[in-house]
Amino acid sequence: MKRTLLTLICSLFALAASADEGMWLPSLISQRIDDMRAKGFRLTAEDIYSINKASMKDAVVLFDGGCTGELISAEGLLLTNHHCGYDAIQSHSSVEHDYLTHGFWAMSRAQELPNEKLNVKFLVRMEEVTDRLAAGQTQEEIVRRAEAEGKGYKAAVEQMYYGNQQFLFVYEQFDDVRLVAAPPSSIGKFGGDTDNWIWPRHTGDFSLFRIYAGRDNKPAAYSPDNVPYKPKRHFKISTAGVGEGDFTMIYGFPGNTQEYILSDAVAYIAERSDPAKIAVRTGRLDIISAAQQSDPALRIHYAAKHASIANAWKKWQGEVRGINRLGTVASKRAYEQDFAAWAQDKPEYRSVVADLKAEYARIADAYFAREITRETLDALPKRYTAAERAEAVFAQREATERALYRYLFGEYARRCPVQYQAPEFLAGAAAAGSPEAFAERIFSGVWEGSDTTAVNTLARGAKRMQDHIEWLLGTRSLRNLNSARLNELYTAYIKGLREWDAGRAFFPDANLTLRVAYGHVAGYEYADGEYHKPRTTIDGIIAKDNPDIYDYDIPQALRDIHASKEYGRWATRIDGRTTVPVCFLATNHTTGGNSGSPILNARGELVGVNFDRTWRSTMSDVAFDETICRNIAVDIRYVLFVIDRIGGAGYLFGEMDFGKRK
C-alpha cells in the first residue's frame, strides 16, 4: 500500500520542522557537510574528523566517563562543565577549604590538584566492522587487536541502528587529570535546582582541568614528574559573540536517545515510568534538603548526591511535559500504522509492529519493577566504610540516613508490582508489621556495623529477583524499556523504516560515542506564547541575586563590578546597553553526555560550553522538534570574564589562542 497524500504532507512537514535534528557520526560527516555549509559552516568534513591529520576530534574528550570536555590550549588545558567536575571539586572541599562555596583557582601548575580515578579519553579512530563480524571475527578479537595498537588504548564495538551496523571505537585514555579552576557554586551552579532545565538561565557552568602525561606525551599514571599533555589540536576561542540565527555546531559524547521507539514505549515513559520515579525522588530530595538546611557540614556532604538526584528528577518532569505538548504518542502511533500498512506485502516486516507491541505488553511490569527497585532498595547503602565512619560529619548523618531507609522501603512496597518484590522483603515487612518497621531493623544493623546479616540477606534476595527479571527479558544489557526480543525486532523495524521512509535522514541513536550536531542560535516561545530571546546577561544575575538563598547568593565582587559597570575588555553592547553576556540558546540536538561539549561557530572557534536543555526539550531523547527543543550554553565570554575578574586567574589566557573579532 502506498502512503497517503496526507501522510506524505505530514512527513514533509516533520522533516522541515526538524531541520536541526540529528547526532551524526564524525567519520560519516561528509554525508552532511553540504547541508552544514548551506547553513553557514565554513570548514571541511576533514577539519571535523580525520585520522590522517589533526582535526577537531583531537580536541574533544570523553570526560570522566559521562561528560564531554575540550582542549583550549597547547598545554593540555581542558574546559568542561562545573557540574561535570563537581565530584572532583567536592572531594577537595572541606569546611575549612570550601571550594564548592568559594571556588578554587590554581595560581601555578604546582597548585593544580590531582584526582584519583578521573580520566579522559580521546577518540583515535572509528571504523565500521559490520563485515568483519559477519565474516566470523568476534568483538573480543577486534577489541583486543585495537587495544594492542598503542599505550593507554581502550576500544569498544558499538551497535548502530539497533545492530544493523557495528562500529569499532578506539580511544586513548589519560589518567592524570588535575583540577585547575572552578568558580564558586553561586556562579557555577547559579540558580541550583530551581533554574535547572529552565530558561532564561544565568549559570556560569564551567570548570578547568589539565591533562598530564609522561615525558613521552603518552598516558601515564599520576606522578609528580608528569608534564602537561601536548594535544594534536585545541580550539581557538572567539570573543566575537553570537547573534540570533548564527550557525552553531556541537561536538561531544551524547549518552542515550531513543528516537525510533514505538508509541507504546513513549506512553510507558510519559504515563508510568517518569511519574513514578519523579514521585520517589521528590521524597528523597525533601529528606536530604532538610538535612542540608540544618547543618553546613551536611550541606557540603550531601551536595553532590542532591545534585545527582535532582538532575534526572527535573529532567523527567520536562520530558513528560514535552511529550504531552507535542502529542508524541499519537503521532508515533499514526506513523507506525502507515508503516504497517506498507509492510503488509513484505514478509520480512509484515508483523514487526504487532510483535513489538506484544513484547512491550509482556515486559512492562517486570521492567517497571526493575526501575522501582533501582530507585529504592538499590539507592540505599548496604554498609558504611571505615573511611566514612571516620569522617567528622558521620554521626550527624544518622537521622537523615534512617529517614531515607524508612521512606524508600515504603516506596518499594507501594510501587513495585508485588510479584516482582523480593520474597525476603515481603517476609521481613510482614514479620516487622510494616515496611517502615522492617527498615528500622535493617538500618540499625547497617548503621552500627555490628551485624550485616539482615541487609545482606535482603540484598541477595533483591539481586535474585533482578536476575530473574533479566532472565525474563533475556539480556543484562538493559537500558530503558528493553529486552533481547525487542532488540531483535527493532533490527528489522529500523531496517524497514529506512526502506519505507527513504526521504528521512536517519541517524543512529546516541550511545556515548562521539557525535556532531549542528543548528543555530534561536529564541523560542513557551506554551503561553511569550517569546524568549536567546541571550542572557549579567543584568539578569543581579536581578536574581539574593544573599538569603544559597544558590542565588553571588560573590560580592560580582555585585561590585556590576555596580561600577567596569567590565573592562569583556564589556559588550547588547540590546542597547553595556553589559556582559552569560548564556545563549541554540537548536543543537543534545542529551546527557553533551554536558561540557564545545559550541563552535562557523569557523570552528569556541563560542560557548553546552550544559543543559530547556525543560520540555528533554523529550528530544525520544522525539526532536525544533519549535521547542533548545540546548543551553554558557557564553565563552562569561567564562573568560569569571576567570579574569572573579578568579584573578587571567594568567591562563597566555596559553589560549583567540580568534579574530568580527
How many other CB atoms sit within 10 Å of the CB of residue 5?
8
Q: What is the DSSP letter of 602?
A: T
Residues sharing a CB contact under 8 Å with residue 495, sequence separation 6 or more, in sequence order: 161, 164, 349
Cell of 501: 521512509
> CA-to-CA distance for 409 and 387, rounded, in angstroms?
26
Q: Is 205 a catalytic residue?
A: yes
Cα–chain center distance at 638: 22
Residue 85 class from Cβ within 10 Å (0-12 exposed, 13-18 middle, 19+ buried)? buried
> CA-to-CA distance for 390 and 203, rounded, in angstroms?
35
Among the listed residues 82, 83, 306, 589, the single catalytic one is: 83
CA-based end-to-end distance of the chain: 54
Residues sharing a CB contact under 8 Å with residue 31, sequence separation 6 or more, in sequence order: 24
CA distances from 577 to 574, 633, 649 (A): 6, 22, 27
Q: Is 595 a catalytic residue?
A: yes
Among the listed residues 18, 185, 483, 595, the single catalytic one is: 595
Cα–chain center distance at 172: 21
Kindly report whether the peptide bond that precedes residue 581 is cis, defined as omega within 30 degrees of 0. no
Tell me the DSSP string of 101-128. HH-EE-SSGGGPEE-TT--EEEEEEEEE
How many other CB atoms sit within 10 Å of the CB of residue 136?
7
Of 94, 260, 263, 60, residue with least CA distance to 172: 60
Helix (H, G, I), strand (E, B) or coil at 171: strand
Q: Is 467 a catalytic residue?
A: no
How many other CB atoms sit within 10 Å of the CB of residue 466?
20
Cα–chain center distance at 655: 29
In which order are the strands placed within the sheet that holds 606-613? 515-520, 247-252, 598-600, 606-613, 631-635, 581-586, 535-537
Among the listed residues 47, 175, 205, 612, the single catalytic one is: 205
> CA-to-CA distance for 506 and 15, rounded, in angstroms?
11
> CA-to-CA distance for 257 and 521, rounded, in angstroms?
22
> CA-to-CA distance for 235 and 597, rounded, in angstroms?
12
Longest CA span, the chain: 74
Residues sharing a CB contact under 8 Å with residue 230, sequence separation 6 or more, in sequence order: 74, 75, 76, 213, 217
Residue 563 class from Cβ within 10 Å (0-12 exposed, 13-18 middle, 19+ buried)? exposed
Residues with catalytic function: 83, 205, 595
